[in-house]
Amino acid sequence: MDAMTNSTLGLENRTFHGTGGVSAGNREEGFRPAFRDAQTGRVYASRFASGQPAPFHLLDGLPDELVIARHASGRVIAVKPSIASGFVRRGRFYTRDEAARAVAH
């Protein structure tokens, strides 16, 4: 399992383009971008570095204990391999696949 990076997020966005597996495709259905740590089961809302909610997947707002690499500017380059991007709706975490299927029905 490789670390989650901005490149990983870009690939996922291209893979799910035009579906409910991206924020633009599911926002109207009440989904909010989030991350889940497979090791702990904890879910983290996507946030800007300032702590404000982000309308898309962004690594910069994740807690330091998940970060494995930063750029000299302080921006997050990579987080633990156990981190997966997805969405939260009504308190439940959805993977990108699950969100895409939920929106399609």
| CA 21 vs CA 60, 69, 94: distances in Å | 21, 26, 9
How many separate domains does the chain show? 1
Three-state secondary-structure class, residue 24: helix
Sign of CA dihedral 22, 27, 30, 34: positive
Three-state secondary-structure class, residue 103: helix
**What's the pTM value of the predicted model, to 2 decimals?**
0.95
pLDDT digits (tens, 9 = 90+) for 49-102: 999 999 999 999 999 999 999 999 999 999 999 999 999 999 999 999 999 999
Residue type at position 83: I
Task: Quote the domain boundaries for residue 54.
Answer: 4-104
Residues in the chain: 105
